[in-house]
C-alpha cells in the first residue's frame, strides 16, 4: 500500500494521475490513470499581480437568446455548458469592484472556451461545422471569429467526466485598449456579448464551456489591466 500526497493550486483545474508498473527489465507491463477535478465556487475576483484584475463568471450566468431553447448542461446543480443552435447571442454582465480607478485602466479583455453548436455532437467526427461569432465588450465589437467545428473526443476530458460526450472548444481572447477601455470602466459594469450570426444550413451556433465542461477548466474571464 502506498500513499501519494499532492499540493494543488487553489483554482479550477484538471489533474491526471498516472501509474505505470515496470517489470524486472524496466519495461512497462501495466498502467492506469485517473482524473481529479479541482472545483471552485462560481464567480470570483482576483488580482494577478498589482496591475491586473481578473473577474470570472460561470457560463450559466449568461443570458441566452436563440430561436430554439438553448441547452443548459448542469454539473452539481450549476450550468457549465450553455449552447444555442443557429443564430443567437449570449451575454454576461460583470460588476467592477469599488475603488477601481477607471482613468488608470489600459486594457479590458475577455477569454473563454467556445465552439459551434452541432446537433447531436457526434464524437470523433472530422466533419466541419463552422460558425461565425462576433465578440462585443460594452457594446463595441472587438472580434469576429470563425469557429471551425464542435469537436468531441478524448481531449474534452471535463465534458467526458461530466456527461457532455467529450465536447470541447478553443480558447479565445479579445479586448479593447486605450481611451475606450477607460471610458467603459468608468461605467462600473462591463457587458460581454457573444453573437452567432449568418448561419447557413450545416453550420452555426455557439457553445460556451464553463470550468467543469470542455477541455479547459475556465469560466468566462474578464481581465482588466491598469496602471
Asked, for residue 22, whether it belongs to a domain, the answer is no
Asked, for residue 8, whether it belongs to a domain, the answer is no
Asked, for residue 6, whether it belongs to a domain, the answer is no
The percentage of residues in the chain with a pLDDT greater than 70, rounded to a whole number, is 96
Highest mean pLDDT among 5-9, 40-44, 111-115, 158-162: 111-115
Asked, for residue 24, whether it belongs to a domain, the answer is no
Q: What letter does residue 212 receive in the DSSP assignment?
A: T
Asked, for residue 65, whether it belongs to a domain, the answer is yes
pTM, two decimal places: 0.88
Highest mean pLDDT among 1-5, 18-22, 33-37: 18-22
Total domains in the chain come to 1
DSSP string, the chain: ---------SS-EEEEEEEEEE-TTS-EEEEEEEEEEE---S-EEEESSTTEEEEEE-GGGSEEEESSPPEEEEETTEEEEEEE-SSEEEEEEEEPPTT--GGGEEEEEEEEEEE---TT--TT------EEEEEEETTEEEEEEEE----BSTT-HHHHHHTSTTB--EEEEEEEETHHHHHHHTTSEEEEEEEEE-PPTT---EEEE-TTSSSS---EEEEEEE-
List, for residues 60-105, the tens digit of each pLDDT value.
999 999 999 999 999 999 999 999 999 999 999 999 999 899 999 9
Asked, for residue 222, whether it belongs to a domain, the answer is yes
List, for residues 155-206, the tens digit of each pLDDT value.
999 999 999 999 999 999 999 999 999 999 999 999 999 999 999 998 999 9
The average pLDDT across 31-43 equals 79
Q: What is the CATH number of the domain that holds 172?
A: 2.60.120.260
Asked, for residue 5, whether it belongs to a domain, the answer is no
* Domain containing residue 155: 42-226
Higher pLDDT, 226 or 16: 226
- Supply the pLDDT for residue 4: 81
Asked, for residue 86, whether it belongs to a domain, the answer is yes
27 pLDDT band, cuts 50/70/90, is very high
Amino acid at each position: 500500500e502506498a500513499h501519494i500526497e499532492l499540493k494543488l493550486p487553489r483554482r479550477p483545474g484538471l489533474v491526471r494521475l498516472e501509474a505505470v508498473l515496470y517489470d524486472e527489465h524496466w519495461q512497462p507491463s501495466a498502467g492506469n490513470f485517473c482524473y481529479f477535478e479541482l472545483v471552485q465556487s462560481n464567480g470570483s475576483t482576483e488580482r494577478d499581480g498589482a496591475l491586473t484584475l481578473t473577474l470570472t463568471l460561470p457560463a450559466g450566468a449568461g443570458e441566452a437568446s436563440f430561436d430554439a431553447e438553448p441547452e443548459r448542461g448542469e454539473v452539481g446543480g450549476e450550468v457549465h455548458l450553455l449552447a444555442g443552435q443557429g443564430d443567437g447571442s449570449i451575454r454576461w454582465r460583470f460588476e467592477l469592484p469599488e475603488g477601481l480607478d477607471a482613468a488608470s485602466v489600459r486594457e479590458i479583455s475577455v477569454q473563454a472556451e467556445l465552439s459551434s453548436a452541432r446537433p447531436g455532437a457526434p464524437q470523433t467526427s472530422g466533419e466541419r461545422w463552422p460558425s461565425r461569432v462576433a465578440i462585443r465588450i460594452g457594446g463595441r465589437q472587438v472580434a469576429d471569429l470563425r469557429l471551425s467545428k464542435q469537436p468531441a473526443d478524448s481531449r474534452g476530458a471535463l465534458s467526458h467526466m461530466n456527461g457532455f460526450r467529450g465536447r470541447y472548444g478553443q480558447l479565445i481572447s479579445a479586448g479593447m485598449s486605450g481611451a475606450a477601455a477607460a471610458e467603459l470602466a468608468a461605467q462600473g459594469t462591463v457587458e460581454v456579448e457573444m453573437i452567432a450570426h449568418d448561419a447557413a444550413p450545416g453550420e452555426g451556433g455557439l457553445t460556451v464551456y464553463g470550468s467543469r465542461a470542455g477541455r479547459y477548466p475556465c469560466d468566462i474571464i474578464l481581465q482588466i489591466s491598469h496602471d
